[in-house]
Amino acid sequence: MNPPKTITLALTGASGMPYAMRLLEYLLQHGNKVYLLYSQVAQIVAKQEMDLTLPSRSRDLETYLYERYQAPQGSLRVFGREEWFAPVASGSNPADAMVVCPCTMGSLAAIAMGLSDNLIERAADVMLKENRKLILVPRETPFSAIHLENMLKLSRLGCVILPANPGFYHHPQTVQDLVDFVVARILDHVDIPNDLMPRWGETPTDQE
């Protein structure tokens, strides 16, 4: 069995909250530790897209998510954008990997410029300087030249740009199948085994 990992998951205000919540669910239910960071706009998107009312206070959100996913105690810590004493704010205590999902173009630009004006941006900056895996999941279309230039800059720095673009070769039957396609690709890039979807060249029976 693979040892559990510590993953920082940051929620920003782009569309695509179902990807983030499914990723969080999978990480917690498979023995990993999650540091969850979130913005105020992410709360608005969660309400709009999933009818989820995420509490504004980080401790209240932590309690809510523990109950929602029946997560083991100690597997989740939640931090707001200005909680600078969070472990993820320092290179002395980096997570194994960080995923920004969904990732706004504003957050992507700030990370590319190294602004570190809030905890999400600082945590991403820590991952880059410590040579840890950083995955950004943008949900935007079309991309402008500015967006593409920022993505190229981050890619050259070792960041994984993983747009929320589900494939169809696995013959999805539900919206959940499309969500799981993207989440499976994220899990692959943080080296967490999963069987959320058949792989290319496989049939569902090959996974059994």
Q: Are 95 and 56 in contact (CB under 8 A)?
A: no
In the annotated binding site, the residues are 13-15, 39, 104-107, 139, 169, 185
pLDDT tens-digit map of 55-107: 999 999 999 999 999 999 999 999 999 999 999 999 999 999 999 999 999 99
Question: The whole model's pTM is what?
Answer: 0.95
Q: Are 21 and 68 in contact (CB under 8 A)?
A: no
Rounded CA separation 187/179 (Å): 12
Report domain extents, the chain.
6-207
Architecture of domain 6-207: 3-Layer(aba) Sandwich (3.40)
pLDDT at site 1: 65
Top pLDDT among 202 and 48 is at: 48
pLDDT tens-digit map of 113-126: 999 999 999 999 99
In the annotated binding site for dimethylallyl phosphate, the residues are 169, 185
pLDDT at 206 over 70: no
In the annotated binding site for FMN, the residues are 13-15, 39, 104-107, 139
